[in-house]
Structure 1
């Protein structure tokens, strides 16, 4: 009997010991960690304290909610707790209830809100440090430094004409290695159905995605593949600000985001993130562009220092502008032949230093494109490195500061002017929320470009006292990219919207049109481009008015109805002149517009005088002509950028 009792005691001891071991070895999850839950009355008391401190009106709280003038930009019910009756105050109350009247693991859904509110209110502690995603984020993607990065504009994708902005985070990971990652917000634009793409991105919205990738991968994509420049702006942030940004990125990672080209894009999201610094960050009435974002960071004194990473194509173009075409071809020939040892002598010549830099750029490009074998590239590289070290040790390339996005002109514009055409004199007003045109000062861009989003032109005729919508551009883009030996260069134009077109009698009919052109541009000299474009489009008119409405009651002939295909061809030149002036002259042929069954030519001269960075005087002369008929148009306007 005693033996049985002792045996039972042993088994009880062993079972208790194993139970203790299991408890000690079981991992603690956020949802299983003991945390204080509050009663309804206690949460109401905390909310009352928050209201007294006006926390719901704090710029950081507004940024955490992504609210713009009282309207939430994120509508995901998993993010917007007060979706049924949103207000900043109600969202704060719902957040306190979610954190303290539910599962303690709820803190992992809103770590940034909890982190900030804990600094403002006497909140009980929640198991934030046990959140699995936060643990992984800290280990793999350290955030000792945060930089804002701008990728220069490109015409290869619709949104690329504005450039792109993203974050770079860097530090030592859990293995003691220095690593850098890029955090980017984007949408999928991989489609050839451009009308649908524009409609979805401007009207209905598209799925937005957050990506965390090694920075070197994105740098290679932009600089080497797409040949875009990068500007990296190290941000002046303390530990608390960086941690709040990290936690907020985790919140956004769990949220369904809808991308809109004009109102919720990469720059909009990062503008909210910058506001988490507590610094006053500006907003834009017409939406934030990537260049606006960089300027906002500069104005808030957040930029500590700037680093530029230039593409081979950009360097090649800039260097080619400084030497003759014959010298450029001579440099390329010597690189391909491997004859560089004495080519750059005498070494005290500035011109020879430019040739040396051009050879360095082309040597790398020719190797990457398999135009140069590996042995020749290595041999050239060794010679160039030796010459740099011994002959040009104190010389380096510097970039014109006007290319820095911080110093570029504003991207919204308003113009007023007077036009005289076949219908008499008229007052013209144009508002372009996100825009720059070929008549603007584009010297801060890598090439001549034009962009118009929701650009609206109204015209009032004094003689008939009629006011009409002369044009409405939903999306318009033109890029005159000079051709070069490195990467070629295709020029292109796309336009979607209501525009004035001419019928067989050269009378104006307004139609809804979708058109595009492609071609080539040649930089004849550094301040002069010549280009040729060809393409066509579809114009939609409705007989008797509606979309295809006439300006006057004159006999316009048959307007026709339905869809009308047409073709276009254009050639022209752009001259960037002394004393801050610019001239563009072009001739254009249009066939079968508005089912006219014939063609007409347009010759246009545009002259711009840049009074200062924000103000421009524009003067246009235009003649449209066909067999037996011609019309002339004169236009003078004052444009203000803002």
Structure 2
């Protein structure tokens, strides 16, 4: 059968690929292994192409991340080479195949046929409708800031914005996002589905303005728009690849295959080197860092929600000026206050404050003439927010820590997706802690004993602040196993707890919070509930340092209440290494002060 390949090489300058030739490739796999033709080598080269691997959604071990047989055609005997042969076969034997896999067809006509064969998509009505209504003249990667109230967005969210002129000649913008629908309010079931078994994932395409309004106005989140530097060919590959994925079964896993992972894989279709940045866990910020490090960002645009714009510009102007603007806005005297303001930051604060105040609080709503006058003043100067709270400057999301306590015991911790309250959170909009599947082991050197100290399935703390004298909801939630005081002894216990409270800025660099809550814990046969109360402060210090101070009170059933005061200081050596020192005193147990020194490594 190998003579067919030679026959093909004679006629391959034409556009026609005979069906019998493609079928013969399968019988040649064994017989021709000893004497590969140049065409065989070309096929192998294509099968080993990083772009072909990206089109198949393969991980770095070349295993498919999508196991839908309608996407991976050779799922029962998969290899990139077998999938390429099957694709070439079906191109010739199935008339609708090109409509289902236009990205593969575009790849083949460019990198296999070298432009000598062009696939005709004119009969693909649904595909053409997609291309007509969702143009990809420009492609932007959008990052929405974190919101800890959502298990699927507690590290932020990343999606695409496709922009251009549609078939009617109208400029349009569309969001293209990979999402998973939450169908339960049960936190245990939600964690189990999102972290262990997975949830059905799907692509959604809708007008970008809908997402923009939802993130900025409803969820009070901020947006970063990164316009990508891609060629027409690269954008077309991405457009068609998203079409190929639209109706496939994709299993969403928060820590393994989420919106960020899929976004990185889709981008790798255009720039395969991005796949090299897939490490232990891919977060939304990791995708942004990857496109920046590969020099794929053409332009950056930051859009602040009115809440955060008010906070940011309010911190930049004098308090007396801020109070004056607040009073005039709330009394409806807009034209009066506009005459007093010339400072650009004060004008921006006025603009954000006007949008932020609820219509129910207006004595008089701002009229169109006022808004035109305000916008005209603001348009006279440029404000660059691209360096404000820059996501690419945040530490990496995975952490390894080692600590030594006053007793000479060593505590080793590993968190695949996390940040600590003691971490450098300057580039985030809230002080927060997030630990998912955190594991800590305690090594008692003197007794040569290693034991599990803590396993946190889900540990989150949110301390949001925007401005002095403005209070925001704060909270914490914990589910896991840890060592804690139960009576007079430290014991391991399974704990489910939560707390709710408030947080504010006392000074520009001093945050204060209070939390009231409770929970249940199980220690062997001992099971019961408890109440808790916490007061704390977070202070940004000079020399890249932070101080945490807290008072904690816990009343467990009929036992004596536990009281603890803790002070912790962290110093940020760089984006990877943090030094920390803590001192804690349990008033109800002993007069001993417990010291800990540690090092965090972010990777």
Tell me which moved more, 339-348 or 321-330: 339-348
CA drift at 1:105:
0.9
Tell me which moved more, 313-322 or 240-249: 313-322
Cα distance in 1, alignment partners of residues 470 and 152 from structure 2: 21
Partner of 1:81: 73
Q: How does 1:439-458 map to 2 (within 5 A)?
A: 439-458=422-441
Cα distance in 2, alignment partners of residues 274 and 386 from structure 1: 39
Corresponding residue to 1:384 among 340, 349, 374: 374
Deviation sequence 1:575-622 (CA, Å, 0-9, x none): 001111110000111121xx6633201211110111122211100111
Deviation sequence 1:113-163 (CA, Å, 0-9, x none): 222123232497654332222111111111111110001111231222211
Partner of 2:295: 301
Structure 2 runs not aligned, ≥5 long: 1-15, 30-35
Corresponding residue to 1:58 among 43, 49, 66: 49
Whether the aligned pair in 1 keeps the contact of 2:567 and 2:583 (CA below 8 Å) is yes
Q: Alpha carbons of 1:90 and 1:623: their partners in 2 closer, same or farther (altered >3 Å)?
A: farther
Corresponding residue to 2:85 among 83, 93, 113: 93
Partner of 2:4: none
Partner of 1:234: 227
- Whether 1:427 and 2:410 are equivalent positions in the alignment is yes
CA drift at 1:402:
5.0
- Whether 1:207 and 2:196 are equivalent positions in the alignment is no
Whether the aligned pair in 2 keeps the contact of 1:581 and 1:608 (CA below 8 Å) is yes
Q: Alpha carbons of 1:329 and 1:39: their partners in 2 closer, same or farther (altered >3 Å)?
A: same
Partner of 1:174: 167
Partner of 1:618: 580
- Whether 1:317 and 2:307 are equivalent positions in the alignment is no
Deviation sequence 1:420-443 (CA, Å, 0-9, x none): 2xxx32112212221111101111
Partner of 2:281: 287
- Whether 1:365 and 2:383 are equivalent positions in the alignment is no
Q: Alpha carbons of 1:605 and 1:90: their partners in 2 closer, same or farther (altered >3 Å)?
A: same
Partner of 1:524: 506
Cα distance in 2, alignment partners of residues 405 and 200 from structure 1: 28
Cα distance in 1, alignment partners of residues 552 and 231 from structure 2: 57
Q: How does 1:453-602 map to 2 (within 5 A)?
A: 453-482=436-465, 489-505=472-488, 507-542=489-524, 560-561=525-526, 563-592=527-556, 597-602=559-564
CA drift at 1:413:
1.7
Cα distance in 1, alignment partners of residues 117 and 469 from structure 2: 62
Cα distance in 1, alignment partners of residues 366 and 49 from structure 2: 62
Partner of 1:417: 403
Deviation sequence 1:354-412 (CA, Å, 0-9, x none): 3332222111222x5432266444464355346557xxx33x44437151222222222
Cα distance in 2, alignment partners of residues 35 and 99 from structure 1: 10
Q: Alpha carbons of 1:294 and 1:519: their partners in 2 closer, same or farther (altered >3 Å)?
A: same
Cα distance in 1, alignment partners of residues 476 and 28 from structure 2: 57
Q: Alpha carbons of 1:470 and 1:60: their partners in 2 closer, same or farther (altered >3 Å)?
A: same
Q: Give 3-state SS (helix, strand or coil) of 1:254's partner.
A: coil
Corresponding residue to 1:110 among 101, 107, 116: 101
CA drift at 1:259:
0.5
Q: Alpha carbons of 1:433 and 1:338: their partners in 2 closer, same or farther (altered >3 Å)?
A: same
Q: Give 3-state SS (helix, strand or coil) of 1:582's partner.
A: strand
Decide which structure has the larger Cα Rg and report it. Answer: 1
CA drift at 1:291:
0.3
CA drift at 1:474:
1.8
Cα distance in 1, alignment partners of residues 369 and 107 from structure 2: 58
Whether the aligned pair in 2 keeps the contact of 1:491 and 1:518 (CA below 8 Å) is yes
Whether the aligned pair in 1 keeps the contact of 2:51 and 2:272 (CA below 8 Å) is no
Cα distance in 2, alignment partners of residues 97 and 476 from structure 1: 51
Deviation sequence 1:196-222 (CA, Å, 0-9, x none): 111111100001011000001110111
Partner of 2:216: 223
Kindly report structure 1 stretches of 4+ aligned residues shifted beyond 6 Å: 45-48, 483-488
- Whether 1:142 and 2:135 are equivalent positions in the alignment is yes
Q: Alpha carbons of 1:213 and 1:147: their partners in 2 closer, same or farther (altered >3 Å)?
A: same
In angstroms, what is the RMSD of aligned CA positions? 2.6
Count of residues paired in the alignment: 575
Q: Give 3-state SS (helix, strand or coil) of 2:426's partner.
A: coil
Cα distance in 2, alignment partners of residues 130 and 35 from structure 1: 20
- Whether 1:193 and 2:186 are equivalent positions in the alignment is yes
Q: How does 1:150-165 map to 2 (within 5 A)?
A: 150-165=143-158
Q: Alpha carbons of 1:279 and 1:387: their partners in 2 closer, same or farther (altered >3 Å)?
A: same
Cα distance in 1, alignment partners of residues 239 and 378 from structure 2: 42
Q: Give 3-state SS (helix, strand or coil) of 1:459's partner.
A: strand
Cα distance in 2, alignment partners of residues 493 and 78 from structure 1: 43
Cα distance in 2, alignment partners of residues 578 and 305 from structure 1: 32
Partner of 2:3: none
